[in-house]
Amino acid sequence: MIADLHMHSTSSDGSNSPSEVVRLAKEHNLDCISLTDHDTVNGLCEASEASKKYNIELIPGIELNSFNEEQEVHILGYFLNYKDKNLLEKLNNIIDLRLKRAEEILKKLNNIGIQINLEDILEFTNKNYIGRPHIARALIKKKYVTTVKEAFEKYIGEDAPAYVKSYRLNTYEAIELLKNNGAVPVLAHPGLLKNDKIIKDLVNHGLMGIEVYHSKHTQDDINYYHEIAKSFNLLITGGSDFHGIEVDGRDLLGSIKLDYSYVELLKAKAKNFMEIC
C-alpha cells in the first residue's frame, strides 16, 4: 500500500476540486491520501464523500502557513479535528486577512497599469480563499503573462512591484494550534527552507514529524532529512504537494509513493479518528 499525504484542491490554491483530487489519486493507484489545503478545512467533506466512492483512505489534514525567523515555514497537521471551534475561529480570521491582502495587491497592479479586478480572480476561487496563485491565473487569462511562474516573477512575487506581505501565524503558534486540536504537527518540505537550523527549536516547541519525501526534494535532501528525523525521533511523512497540472505545470501525483508503514506510525501518535462529515 502506498500513500501521498500532501495535496491541495480548489478549496485553497489547487486547480482541481476536492472530489477530483480524490478521483485522480485513485487513478494513480494511491491507497491513502491526505487533503492538506492551506489554512482551510472547507474541502474535507467533499473529499470524504469521494473517498468512500473510490474506496481510498482519507486522512483529514491541513497546511498552515507560518513565519519564523524571517522565513516562511509550513506546518502540516494530520488527523485534524476539523470541527474544533478554536481552529475554525483562527482560520476564519486568516480568510479575512487574505481577502484584504488580495485587495491591496489589486490596487498595486492597477497602479502599474494592470487592468484586473476582484471578479477576475473569483473566476478561479471564492472569497473563502484567495491566494496569489489565483491572481496569477487571472493574469494569465488577461494575457499579461503566460505562466504562474512568470506572474510571480514579474508582478506578485517577493520584490516584485505588486507584492504585499501576508499575515502568517507564528510557527510556534501554528504547532500549538495543531497540538491543542489533537492533530499531529509535521514540518512541510524542509528542503525549501532558507535555514533549516530551526528544526531543533521547532521540536522543542512540539513538532512531531518531518516531511522527508517531497516532490522538490533531491535524493541528498531525502537522505539528510531522514537522518534528521532519526536524530530527533520524528515521524517521517511524504507527499507530492500536488496542486493540479494547471498550477504545477506537470502531474505531480504519483511522484511520491510513501510506504504505508509510515502512515501506521503516524496513526499511532494521532488522537483524532472522527468520521469526516
pLDDT in tens, 179-220: 999 999 999 999 999 999 999 999 999 999 999 999 999 999
- Gap between the Cα atoms of 129 and 147, Å rounded: 21
**Do the Cβ atoms of 62 and 37 come closer than 8 Å?**
yes
Would you place residue 247 in the very low, low, confident or very high pLDDT band (cuts 50, 70, 90)?
Answer: confident
Q: Tell me the C-alpha distance between 27 and 254, whole Å.
A: 10
Q: How confident is the model at residue 275 (pLDDT cuts 50, 70, 90)?
A: confident
Q: What is the pTM of this model?
A: 0.89
Provide the pLDDT confidence category of residue 271 given band limits of 50, 70 and 90: confident
DSSP string across 147-181: SHHHHIIIIISTTSTT--PPP-EEHHHHHHHHHHH
| Cα–Cα dist 73/234, whole Å | 17
For the chain, which domains are there?
2-83+171-269 (3.20.20.140), 91-156 (1.10.150.650)
State the pairing for strand pair 169-170/57-68: parallel
pLDDT over 90 percentage in the chain: 88
**Per-chain mean pLDDT for the chain:** 95
What is the per-residue pLDDT for 68? 92
Taking residues 136-149, what's their average pLDDT? 94
> pLDDT-derived band of residue 258, with 50, 70 and 90 as boundaries?
very high
Residue 79 has pLDDT above 90, yes or no: yes
Q: Are 210 and 234 in contact (CB under 8 A)?
A: yes
pLDDT band of residue 168 (cuts 50, 70, 90) is confident
The position carrying cell 500536488 is 242
Length of the chain: 277
Name the percent of the chain lying above pLDDT 70: 100
> What's the pLDDT band for 276 if we cut at 50, 70, 90?
confident
Phi-psi region of 102 (alpha: psi -120 to 50; beta: other; left: phi over 0): alpha
| Burial label, 90 (beta-carbon count in 10 A; 0-12, 13-18, 19+) | middle
Mean pLDDT over 244-257 rounds to: 90
Apex 176 CA angle, 59 and 201, nearest 5: 105
Task: Give the separation between CA 200 and CA 276, rounded to whole angstroms.
Answer: 33
| Cα dist from 271 to 179, 185, 225, whole Å | 10, 12, 25
Q: Tens digit of pLDDT for each residue in 25-77? A: 999 999 999 999 999 999 999 999 999 999 999 999 999 999 998 899 999 99
Asked if residue 122 lies in contact with residue 128, where contact means CB atoms within 8 angstroms, the answer is no
pLDDT at position 166, please?
A: 82
